[in-house]
Amino acid sequence: MTSGVASVIGGMPEVRRFFVPPGSLNRETLTVSGELHHHMIRVLRLKAGTTLLLADGDGHEAHGVIAQVGKESLTIALEGKALPVATETGPAITLYQGLPKGDKLELVLQKGTELGAAAIVPFQSGRSVSRIGLDQRSGKVERWQRIADEAARQSQRASLPRISFAGSLDEVLQSATQSLKLLLWEGERKTGLRAVLAEQLTPESVAVIVGPEGGLSEEEARQARENGFIPVTLGHRILRTETAGLAILAILQFHWGDMG
């Protein structure tokens, strides 16, 4: 966790906001070390006596004051109890993103977080060009989570999205327990997203599968259908993989969430 956000109202900067680990706001003092300590002291050059706003990523915030600064850590004195803040409304949306080439996934993580995804799960499909070995997965997921955390801070979200990785579409299908499951598939010709949404009451949770650059195969789409996913089309508009998931997130947030 590497940075905070400070906004400006009437020419005066507001208190900087930082994410801290869940459960760390229910105490009198908090010790910060590692990357966040480096950013607060070496980059932002915060001093003892600075007032901060701390968020635990689970929908709670508390004010604190930097009480002591050391070379490796700093101590924050918390002021009062952690209070709940307004969280995202609408269903919890999980985006299952077919692993794209290059750095496209970073865009999906950043913008998907801004658009309120509750979780983003990159996965390897049969047509994924990029491949991630077993020995790379933990490091990749840690880096992806940092990207999402940074986007959450910048967009001042009350909660942090959960980032994980699925080695195959089978893993996705086995783990997807959401109440509404959508497959954004270029092979679908009849069922449009608008028609499906019009027939649904507001679900508690939504899963969306988006394939990689080459899309999903007929067999993969069949497997998804058999596991409860509804194939939908966005009509004649053809979107790149890094655009498709973001588009449907925005549509779902407008339809059921807190956009508009």
Tell me: the pLDDT tens digits for 206-215? 999 999 998 8
* Residue at a domain's end among 27, 50, 84: 84
187 in any annotated domain: yes
Query: What average pLDDT does the segment 67-82 reach?
Result: 92
φ, ψ of residue 61 in degrees (nearest 5): -135, 155
3 in any annotated domain: no
Task: Return left, alpha or beta for 13; rule: phi > 0 is left, psi -120 to 50 is alpha, else beta.
Answer: beta
Computed from CA positions of residues 52, 53, 55, 60, in that sequence, does the dihedral angle turn out positive or negative?
positive
Burial class, 2, CB count within 10 angstroms (exposed 0-12 / middle 13-18 / buried 19+)? middle
Tens digit of pLDDT for each residue in 93-128?
999 999 999 899 999 999 999 999 999 999 999 878
Question: Alpha-carbon distance 16 to 110, whole Å?
Answer: 21
Q: What is the pLDDT of residue 1?
A: 45
* Residue at a domain's end among 84, 107, 138: 84
Task: Return left, alpha or beta for 92; rule: phi > 0 is left, psi -120 to 50 is alpha, else beta.
Answer: beta
- Among 2-16, 37-51, 143-157, 211-225, the least confident range: 2-16
* Residue at a domain's end among 52, 84, 116: 84
| Number of compact structural domains in the chain | 2
2 in any annotated domain: no
